[in-house]
Amino acid sequence: MAQVWEETVYIPSYEVGKPEKNPLFLEKRVYQGSSGKVYPYPVIEKIYDQKLEKPYRVVFLENEYIQVQLMPDIGGRVYRYLDKTNGYDAVYYNRVIKPALVGLAGPWISGGIEFNWPQHHRPNTFGKVEYYYTRDTEIGVCTCWMTEVDRMYGTKCLVAFSIYPGKSFLEIKVILYNRTAIPQTFLWWANPAVHVHDQTQSIFPPDVRAVFDHGKRDLSRFPIATGVYYKVDYSEGVDISWYKNVPVPTSYMAYYSKYDFLGGYDHHKHAGILHIADHHISPGKKQWTWGCGNFGDVWHQQLTDEDGPYVELMAGVYTDNQPDFTWLKPQELKTFTQYFLPYKQVGVVKNANIDFAIGLDRKEDQLHMCIYASSNFEQLKLLLTDTRNDSIIYENLIDVSPLKPFTHSITCHHEKPHYIKMALYGEKDNSIELISYQPEYPHIEKFPEPAKPIEAPELLPNTESLFLAGLHLEQYRHATYRPEDYYLEGLKRDKDDIRLNTAYSVLLLRHGDHINAKKYFERAIVTCTRHNPNPSDCSAYYYLGLCLKYEKRWDEAFDSFYKAIWDSHYHSLGYYQLACLAFRMKAYSKSLEFIETSLKKDGSNLLALNARITILRKLGHFKKASEYCYQVLKDNPLEAAALLENSLLEAIDKEKGNHNSVIHDQKMTWIRVLDEEPHQYLALTEEYWELGDYDTAVLILEQLITQCTTKGIQIPFIVYYAISFLQQYMNHSSSFPKSNYFERASKADLQLYFSTSLFEMFILQDACNQTLDYKPHYMLGNLLYDKRRYQDAISCWERCIELEPSFPTAYRNLSLAYFNKLKDTKKSKEYMERAFSLDTSDARVFYELDKLYRILGVHPKQRLQQLELYMSLVQQRDDLIVEHVTLLNRDGAYDKALSILLNHRFHPWEGGEGKVIAQYTFCCIELAKKHLICNETDGAISYLIRAMEYPSNLGEGKLQGTRESAIFYLLGCCYERKNDKSLASQYYEKASQGSLHLEPVMFYNDQPPELIFYQGLAFRRLQDEKNARRCFHTLKDYGEVQLFKDLKIDYFAVSLPNMLVFEEDLNRMNQMQSRFLLALGYIGLYEYESAKQQLELVLELDPCHLGAFIHLEMLKKPYVDVLL
State how far the Cα of 583 lies from the Cα of 580, in Å rounded to an integer: 5
State how far the Cα of 96 lies from the Cα of 151, in Å rounded to an integer: 28
Strand (E) or helix (H) holding 478: none
Average pLDDT, the chain: 94
pLDDT of residue 301: 97
Residue 734 has pLDDT above 60, yes or no: no
Report how far apart the first and last C-alpha atoms of the chain are (Å, whole number).
78
Residue 1057 has pLDDT above 80, yes or no: no
Find residue 384's DSSP bridge partners.
Answer: 394, 422
CB-based contacts of 107: which residues, under 8 Å, 6+ apart? 16, 44, 47, 99, 100, 101, 126
- Give the mean pLDDT of 33-38: 91
Report CA torsion sign: 541, 547, 548, 554: positive
Task: Please count the other Cβ atoms lying within 10 Å of the Cβ belonging to residue 172.
Answer: 22
State how far the Cα of 493 lies from the Cα of 740, in Å rounded to an integer: 54
Find residue 373's DSSP bridge partners.
Answer: 356
pLDDT of residue 553: 97
Tens of pLDDT, residues 927-940: 999 999 999 999 99
pLDDT of residue 1002: 62
Backbone torsion region of residue 979, taken as left when φ is above 0, otherwise alpha when ψ lies between -120 and 50, otherwise beta: left
Tens of pLDDT, residues 398-411: 999 999 999 999 99
Please give the model's pTM, rounded to 2 decimal places. 0.96
Instruction: Give residue 742's pLDDT band: very low, low, confident or very high (50, 70, 90).
Output: confident
Q: Which of 484-493, 537-546, 1055-1064 has the lowest mean pLDDT?
A: 1055-1064
pLDDT of residue 521: 97
Tens of pLDDT, residues 240-249: 999 999 999 9
pLDDT of residue 1008: 86
State how far the Cα of 743 lies from the Cα of 737, in Å rounded to an integer: 10
Helix, strand, or coil here: 725?
A: helix
Q: Which of 141-155, 650-664, 898-912, 938-952 has the lowest mean pLDDT?
A: 650-664
Residue 662 has pLDDT above 70, yes or no: no
State how far the Cα of 424 lies from the Cα of 403, in Å rounded to an integer: 18
pLDDT of residue 1059: 58
- Give the mean pLDDT of 983-1007: 85
Residue 1027 has pLDDT above 70, yes or no: yes
pLDDT of residue 418: 85
Residue 1080 has pLDDT above 60, yes or no: yes
Residue 230 has pLDDT above 70, yes or no: yes
Task: Please count the other Cβ atoms lying within 10 Å of the Cβ belonging to residue 1028.
Answer: 21
CB-based contacts of 93: which residues, under 8 Å, 6+ apart? 79, 80, 82, 111, 112, 195, 307
Spatial contact of 882 and 916, defined as CB atoms under 8 Å apart = yes
CB-based contacts of 455: which residues, under 8 Å, 6+ apart? none
How many CA within 13 A on the CB side of residue 459? 4
Instruction: Render the burial of 719-748: b for 16+ CB within 10 Å, e for the rest.
Output: bbbbbbbbbeeeeeebebebeebbebbbeb
Nearest to 783 by CA among 773, 774, 771, 792: 792
User: What one-character DSSP code corresponds to residue 755?
Assistant: -
Spatial contact of 120 and 187, defined as CB atoms under 8 Å apart = yes
Tens of pLDDT, residues 107-133: 999 999 999 999 999 999 999 999 999
Edge-to-edge, what's the strand order for the sheet holding 356-363?
351-352, 356-363, 366-373, 406-411
Spatial contact of 708 and 715, defined as CB atoms under 8 Å apart = yes
Residue 735 has pLDDT above 90, yes or no: no
Residue 41 has pLDDT above 80, yes or no: yes
Instruction: Output the CA angle 1055-1060-1061, nearest 5 degrees.
Output: 155
Residue 414 has pLDDT above 90, yes or no: no
Task: Please count the other Cβ atoms lying within 10 Å of the Cβ belonging to residue 515.
Answer: 11
Tens of pLDDT, residues 594-642: 999 999 999 999 999 999 999 999 999 999 999 999 999 999 999 999 9
Tens of pLDDT, residues 838-862: 999 999 999 999 999 999 999 999 9
Find residue 221's DSSP bridge partners.
Answer: 210
pLDDT of residue 412: 85
- Give the mean pLDDT of 725-740: 73
Spatial contact of 172 and 76, defined as CB atoms under 8 Å apart = no
Instruction: Give residue 788's pLDDT band: very low, low, confident or very high (50, 70, 90).
Output: very high
- Give the mean pLDDT of 670-675: 90
Residue 656 has pLDDT above 90, yes or no: no
Residue 415 has pLDDT above 80, yes or no: no
Tens of pLDDT, residues 502-535: 999 999 999 999 999 999 999 999 999 999 999 9
State how far the Cα of 750 lies from the Cα of 632, in Å rounded to an integer: 37
Tens of pLDDT, residues 179-228: 999 999 999 999 999 999 999 999 999 999 999 999 999 999 999 999 99
Spatial contact of 1019 and 1028, defined as CB atoms under 8 Å apart = yes
Task: Please count the other Cβ atoms lying within 10 Å of the Cβ belonging to residue 19.
Answer: 14
Residue 318 has pLDDT above 80, yes or no: yes
Question: What angle in degrees, to the nearest 10, is found between the helix axes of 758-770 and 717-727?
Answer: 80
State how far the Cα of 601 lies from the Cα of 913, in Å rounded to an integer: 52
Spatial contact of 439 and 420, defined as CB atoms under 8 Å apart = yes
pLDDT-above-90 percentage for the chain: 87
Read off the amino acid at residue 940.
A
Residue 666 has pLDDT above 60, yes or no: no
Instruction: Give residue 1000's pLDDT band: very low, low, confident or very high (50, 70, 90).
Output: confident
Residue 60 has pLDDT above 90, yes or no: yes
Nearest to 670 by CA among 690, 687, 655: 687
